[in-house]
């Protein structure tokens, strides 16, 4: 993995891709095609690299089996074979979709990740997970497939809309709350730097996040136990995304999930109340959007959680906080069942505070 401010201007970047000696298929969001996609394609071709460009619409709804099939068929129609590599240029949706295509096309072709959103840089591009959404749940169809190269280009963030910054920060909050109280302190002291998009501060958040995720993934590549810690906040978040019919940004669902699961931790696992209050205060200070629409109801959340991949016999299991920056191990399972009354109580709390007015 490399971090640089402007890869497109660096000869070494093109040389690394040229050394793969493959036809490159850039897979990107439609709205990034015009500025980034076409430009990168032109530059790769200028460096003697055979390059194609495929785009698909933005939004969680497009992270689907239909999109995967469309991309695969486009590539088959172009007569592309094993001598092809995919370059995923975009946010987490692009890396999840393009990564899944790379892992299955011709039974696996090389994958290069070029994440462009903060969320993809701090989370989605790290760890090798790919996947798509179905009506049953998020990311239930997918693969674990490691990329050959990852290029984190901080200059890309200059074009990122404000709400996408907040979505990325939600995953940083997840790391801070569940894995590293030092990152929590960095966030507590970094409000002004965040408001000013201070490059050194942003780079620090990205590096800290990548290091935390890599250290978890290295201990448990196949998600048999410890890797579940990365799922903190996501039992609730994924259920909200299903209820909202994938019209909700992932980061938006994650921050709500972090709060509700911190609440559950307080009621079910002795997570200290003052630490819970600190999380609520920090969330408010960073102005996270904290509303769900009328589509999300308690009953629908309870139903959607049955399909969560940590569920056992349709009963959801949660990663729970022990203290700020630390989760319970539950004998190496890193998740546990929680009484329905506690979950419902936590959801009531969520609705009182956040329901759309």
CA angle, residues 52, 55, 61, in degrees to nearest 5: 155
Q: Answer yes or no whether residue 136 interacts with ligand NAD by CB under 6 A.
A: no
Q: Which of 270, 232, 281 is nearest to 254 (CA)?
A: 232
Task: Annotate each residue in 81-100 with x if it binds ligand NAD (CB under 6 A) or - if it does not, as one string.
Answer: ---------xxxxx-x----
Q: Answer yes or no whether residue 129 interacts with ligand NAD by CB under 6 A.
A: yes
Q: Rounded CA gap, 171 and 325, in Å?
A: 14
Q: Catalytic annotation on 234?
A: yes
| Three-state DSSP state, 42 | helix
On whether the CB atoms of residues 237 and 325 are closer than 8 A, the answer is no
Q: Answer yes or no whether residue 178 interacts with ligand NAD by CB under 6 A.
A: no
Q: Answer yes or no whether residue 119 interacts with ligand NAD by CB under 6 A.
A: yes
Q: Catalytic annotation on 223?
A: yes
Phi, then psi, of 297 in degrees rounded to 5: -120, 165
Taking the least distance from each CB to ligand NAD, the nearer of 9 and 353 is 9
Q: How far is the CB of 166 from ligand NAD (least distance, A)?
A: 10
On whether the CB atoms of residues 98 and 29 are closer than 8 A, the answer is no
84-90/23-29 β-pairing: parallel
Sequence-separated (6 or more) residues with CB below 8 Å from residue 210: 1, 121, 122, 126, 152
Q: Catalytic annotation on 213?
A: yes
Q: Answer yes or no whether residue 58 interacts with ligand NAD by CB under 6 A.
A: yes
Q: CA-CA distances (angstroms) from residue 147 to 14, 109, 168, 208?
A: 17, 10, 21, 20
Q: CA-CA distances (angstroms) from residue 249 to 25, 72, 164, 237?
A: 27, 26, 9, 10
Q: Catalytic annotation on 107?
A: yes
On whether the CB atoms of residues 52 and 24 are closer than 8 A, the answer is yes
Q: How far is the CB of 107 from ligand NAD (least distance, A)?
A: 21
Q: Catalytic annotation on 43?
A: no
Token couple for 94: 């692009």
For ligand NAD (CB under 6 A), the number of binding residues is: 30
Query: Which one of 159, 224, 353, 356 is in contact with ligand NAD (CB under 6 A)?
Result: 159
Q: Answer yes or no whether residue 325 interacts with ligand NAD by CB under 6 A.
A: no
Q: Answer yes or no whether residue 60 interacts with ligand NAD by CB under 6 A.
A: yes
Taking the least distance from each CB to ligand NAD, the nearer of 24 and 230 is 230
Taking the least distance from each CB to ligand NAD, the nearer of 208 and 275 is 208
Q: Catalytic annotation on 4?
A: no
Q: Rounded CA gap, 145 and 165, in Å?
A: 26
Task: Annotate each residue in 229-268 with x if it binds ligand NAD (CB under 6 A) or - if it does not, as one string.
Answer: ---------------------xx-----------------
Q: Catalytic annotation on 63?
A: no
The catalytic residues are 107, 129, 171, 213, 223, 227, 231, 234, 238, 250
Binding-site ranges for ligand NAD (CB under 6 A):
29, 31-32, 58, 60, 63, 90-94, 96, 116-117, 119-120, 123-124, 127, 129, 138-139, 156, 159-161, 164, 167, 250-251
């Amino acid at each position: 993995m490399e971090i640089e401010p402007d890869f497109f201007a660096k000869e070494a970047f093109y040389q690394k891709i040229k050394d793969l000696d493959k036809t490159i298929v850039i897979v990107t969001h439609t709205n990034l095609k015009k500025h980034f996609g076409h430009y990168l394609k032109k530059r790769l071709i200028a460096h003697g690299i055979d390059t194609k460009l495929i785009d698909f619409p933005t939004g969680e709804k497009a992270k689907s089996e239909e999109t995967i099939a469309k991309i695969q068929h486009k590539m088959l129609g172009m007569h592309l074979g094993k001598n092809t590599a995919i370059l995923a240029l975009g946010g987490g949706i692009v890396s999840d979709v393009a990564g899944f295509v790379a892992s299955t096309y011709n039974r696996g072709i090389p994958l290069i990740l070029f994440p462009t959103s903060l969320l993809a840089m701090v989370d989605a591009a790290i760890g090798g997970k790919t996947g798509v959404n179905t009506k049953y749940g998020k990311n239930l169809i997918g693969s674990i497939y490691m990329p050959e190269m990852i290029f984190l280009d901080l200059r890309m963030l200059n074009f990122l809309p404000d709400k996408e910054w907040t979505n990325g920060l939600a995953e940083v909050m997840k790391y801070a709350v569940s894995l590293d109280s030092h990152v929590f302190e960095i966030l507590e002291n970094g409000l002004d730097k965040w408001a000013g998009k201070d490059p050194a501060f942003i780079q620090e958040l990205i590096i800290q996040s990548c290091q935390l995720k890599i250290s978890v993934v290295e201990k448990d590549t196949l998600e048999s136990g410890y890797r579940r810690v990365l799922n903190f906040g996501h039992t609730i978040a994924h259920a909200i995304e299903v209820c909202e019919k994938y019209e909700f940004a992932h980061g938006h669902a994650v921050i709500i999930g972090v709060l509700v699961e911190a609440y559950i931790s307080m009621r079910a696992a002795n997570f200290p109340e003052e630490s819970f209050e600190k999380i609520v205060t920090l969330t408010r200070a960073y102005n996270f959007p904290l509303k769900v629409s009328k589509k999300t109801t308690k009953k629908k959340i309870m139903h959607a959680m049955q399909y969560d991949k940590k569920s056992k016999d349709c009963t959801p299991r949660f990663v729970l906080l022990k203290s700020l920056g630390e989760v319970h191990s539950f004998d190496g399972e890193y998740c546990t069942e929680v009484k329905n009354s506690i979950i419902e109580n936590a959801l009531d709390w969520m609705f009182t505070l956040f329901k759309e007015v």
